[in-house]
Amino acid sequence: MKKILTVFVAALILTACGNSKEQQDLKQVLTEKFKDDSDLKDYKLKPEDIADCVVANITEDAPPVPGDPKRIRYFEAFTKFASVKSPADLEKAVKDYQDIFGGPKEAYAAANNVTDYIMSCMGLAIEKATPAE
């Protein structure tokens, strides 16, 4: 029994320490989105760094148990929100994932949080890249 518990705890820790496939997918979508951003180019910022920051912010509010189906769908929802190209795409994404957030209003708020996280992370990175005067 002790061995089984030890193996279970070790597996849980390893899963929690690494980024899940869903987090990696979200980072990839965000990195692609940022590759042509003029602000990032002007300040010589790496898209991957901004994407890491956004994923970290989203992860803070994610369901806590790695492998939990709710956590997986949570990251899928944010990946979809980050990749929408039109209002119709956003509306479909909100409809598809509203159950994760508690309803359409909450899903729209979550989708808007993607923009807030991006602006916050870019602001912090620009602040660090700009020498103090």
Number of domains making up the chain: 1
Domain presence at residue 10: no
Domain presence at residue 12: no
Per run of 10 residues, the mean pLDDT along the chain (length 133 residues) is: 43 53 96 93 94 97 92 97 96 97 97 96 91 68
* Long-range contact pairs involving 44-52 (C-beta distance under 8 Å, separation at least 24): 44/129, 45/122, 45/125, 45/126, 45/129, 49/125, 50/118, 50/121, 50/122, 50/125, 51/26, 51/27, 52/27
Domain presence at residue 11: no
**pLDDT attached to residue 23:** 96
Domain presence at residue 34: yes
Domain presence at residue 44: yes
Q: Which residues constitute the domain of residue 38?
A: 19-129
Domain presence at residue 66: yes
Instruction: Compute the distance between CA of residue 98 and CA of residue 110 in angstroms, rounded to an integer.
Output: 10
Domain presence at residue 14: no
This prediction has a pTM of 0.82
**pLDDT attached to residue 114:** 96
